Structure 1
Amino acid sequence: MYISVLNFKGTITGSSPGTYMPALRYIEKKNKVKALLLIINSGGGDANATEILYNQLMKISSKKPVYALIEGIGASGAYWLACSAEKIFAMRTSLVGSIGVISMSPDFSEFLDTLGIKMRINKVGKYKDINSPFRPMTEEENAIYNNIMKDVYSVFREEVKKRRNLGEDIMEEIATGLVFSAEQAKKNGLIDGIANLETVVDELKAKTGTNSIKNLTPKRPFISRLMSMSFEAIYNVIK
């Protein structure tokens, strides 16, 4: 019998479910796994991949204790994953939250104009090139795209509200895309406590009655690890 540990580090991408789902299904089904500790250090990422992982984590949470510890940052989709846990902890210097949705795409149209380059676009369907980098969006298209993002945001927001048992007044204040310090996150109900790894592990040991710990974190593909490290290096330079 043992407590399993999974580290979620770096950007959540479309390939993340393929990396983590085998381990998550194993944790769900094996009776010898008494609990799961998620160690999170991520700024989030792909919404659909996050939802897939969250749904599987919720299956585990319905059968055995799940705790989350945010080391460094647990923001956006990574905080969504943390909400699958019975208890969420963060270190004193951690950043928590960023409850929101963002989509960014370049608009090269003016640059191409200066070069005298015109794009020929053949399409069937009025909105087929709605997010094309070769022309600006119209106001109508912006409204359509924003409504799509609002629907995704609503799913994220409602899961946080339900899992953290937060009132609508609090959600109005915190679900703005802002990140919070650990102290602020605790005050706002986003986490249950401020603690380090040793403290959280000790609490899980006491809860489950087992002292054995096993790290089941799968090794991500090399290119995925490389891209994540490159992204984090850029982020650390510009933040």
Structure 2
Amino acid sequence: MATFGDFPPEHKQDPQNTSLQNDQWERKILQDLAFAAIKEQRATRRWGYLFKFLVLLYFVAIFLMTRPFGESDLPSGPHTALVDVSGVIAPDMEASADRVVTGIREAFESPQAKALILRMNTPGGSPVQSGVINDEITRLRATRPDFPVYAVIQDVCASGGYYIAVAANEIYADKASIVGSIGVRMDSFGFTEAMDKLGVERRSLTAGDNKAFLDPFMPMKEKDVEHAHEMLNNIHQQFIDVVKTGRGDRLKDNAEIFSGLFWSGEQALALGLIDGLANSSTVAREVVGAEEIVDYTPRPSYLDRFAGSLGVKISETLLNSQYWNVR
């Protein structure tokens, strides 16, 4: 019979049981520490793998971005080379002399290229840049007479574009292409009356009687106009001579050809400005006899394209921000 102060038999502590519990507790702590160390090592390895992968991905991206856009291994078999002359012909543009000439030279150096197509789609541009390209084509043709050059016009080939095209052996276009504009122009504005109405005084200090030549804020001088016309006529005559040299007897006797007018491809054919109506694929297949076309046009790298696109976006953002601040 139990009395006050006594414990039931089940509440009495067993020394052996206590020792066993302590051993199990210590073992569990050691297991937890071991598992934690293993997990930490696995996590460290995973981060290491991820870091190495990111580094590899970075170098692959740099390699791809610095490669010229559209670059591919050139075929070993016969083909028709192609170089694009697209956009305004000017320095630092896609149709700059440096870029176009680089592609043309690579095409001429290729032993598997059977001919070169200049795919023209340009409104013209700098007479200097156009002249450099024309001269280089003429020089390269003399070094490899068996390598014909064909100019194939897409939408438009005017002014400086046609200056380049006449260096080719033959010129082709679509019946609706715009061809011609054999002339030279110089553009400016005059603000003298506006300045008088606004009460603005023009202050121009020069050293040299003609340093303020054709200043748009001053009345035109007859002497300046005569000199400008003389210079333009000189460049125009250079253009005419290049066209006559390139086209020869194929040109029709029509004074309007050199007046700065332009015509459709169908009209240009009748005037002798082009040799036929065809596109690049037709010329490669039926004229050259090498249907496969390989693009030799130097392209900007992915990095350059990304930088250019980023620059445009930043400019648009700044302009839009300024616009909304003004409003």
TM range (shorter): 0.7 to 0.9
Identify the residue that residue 135 of structure 2 maps to in structure 1.
Answer: 55
Identify the residue that residue 86 of structure 2 maps to in structure 1.
Answer: 9
Residue in structure 1 matching 2:262, options 164, 179, 186? 179
Instruction: Give the AA of the match of 1:219.
Output: R
Instruction: Give the AA of the match of 1:34.
Output: K
Identify the residue that residue 193 of structure 1 maps to in structure 2.
Answer: 276
Q: Structure 1 stretch 83-92 or stretch 17-26: which is displaced more? A: 17-26
Greater relative contact order (Cα < 8 A, sep 6+):
1
Query: In structure 2, how many angstroms separate the alpha carbons of the residues matched to 1:191 and 1:165?
Result: 12
> How big is the shift at 1:129?
1.4
**Cα distance change of structure 1 residues 34 and 6 upon mapping to structure 2, 3 Å threshold:** same
Does 1:27 pair with 2:110? no
User: Deviations for 1:204-231, whole angstroms, at most 9, x for unmatched residues?
Assistant: 432xxx444210122357569x8xxxxx
Query: In structure 1, how many angstroms separate the alpha carbons of the residues matched to 2:121 and 2:251?
Result: 28
Query: In structure 2, how many angstroms separate the alpha carbons of the residues matched to 1:167 and 1:122?
Result: 53
User: Deviations for 1:127-165, whole angstroms, at most 9, x for unmatched residues?
Assistant: 111132221321111010110011110011011112111
Structure 2 unaligned regions, length at least 5: 1-77, 313-327
Identify the residue that residue 285 of structure 2 maps to in structure 1.
Answer: 202
The 8 Å contact of residues 99 and 157 in structure 1, kept in 2 or not, is answered as yes
Identify the residue that residue 225 of structure 2 maps to in structure 1.
Answer: 142
Query: In structure 2, how many angstroms separate the alpha carbons of the residues matched to 1:69 and 1:45?
Result: 18
**Cα distance change of structure 1 residues 152 and 117 upon mapping to structure 2, 3 Å threshold:** same
Which one has the bigger strand percentage?
A: 1
Q: Structure 1 stretch 12-21 or stretch 214-223: which is displaced more? A: 214-223
Identify the residue that residue 121 of structure 1 maps to in structure 2.
Answer: 204
User: Deviations for 1:36-92, whole angstroms, at most 9, x for unmatched residues?
Assistant: 101111110111111111111222333221001111111111011110110100101
Matched position secondary structure for 1:140: helix
* Rg (Cα) greater in structure: 2
Identify the residue that residue 164 of structure 1 maps to in structure 2.
Answer: 247
Q: Structure 1 stretch 167-176 or stretch 40-49: which is displaced more? A: 167-176
Identify the residue that residue 213 of structure 2 maps to in structure 1.
Answer: 130
The 8 Å contact of residues 165 and 171 in structure 2, kept in 1 or not, is answered as yes
Query: In structure 2, how many angstroms separate the alpha carbons of the residues matched to 1:120 and 1:18?
Result: 40
Query: In structure 2, how many angstroms separate the alpha carbons of the residues matched to 1:185 and 1:97?
Result: 8
Which one has the bigger helix percentage?
A: 2
- TM-score normalised to structure 2 length: 0.63
The 8 Å contact of residues 124 and 160 in structure 2, kept in 1 or not, is answered as yes
Does 1:37 pair with 2:37? no
Query: In structure 1, how many angstroms separate the alpha carbons of the residues matched to 2:250 and 2:105?
Result: 33
The 8 Å contact of residues 114 and 288 in structure 2, kept in 1 or not, is answered as no
- Write out aligned runs for 1:224-239 (5 A): none
- TM-score normalised to structure 1 length: 0.84
The 8 Å contact of residues 118 and 150 in structure 2, kept in 1 or not, is answered as yes
The 8 Å contact of residues 61 and 86 in structure 1, kept in 2 or not, is answered as no
Q: Structure 1 stretch 131-140 or stretch 152-161: which is displaced more? A: 131-140
Q: State, as a whole percentage, how many aligned pairs show the same letter.
A: 32
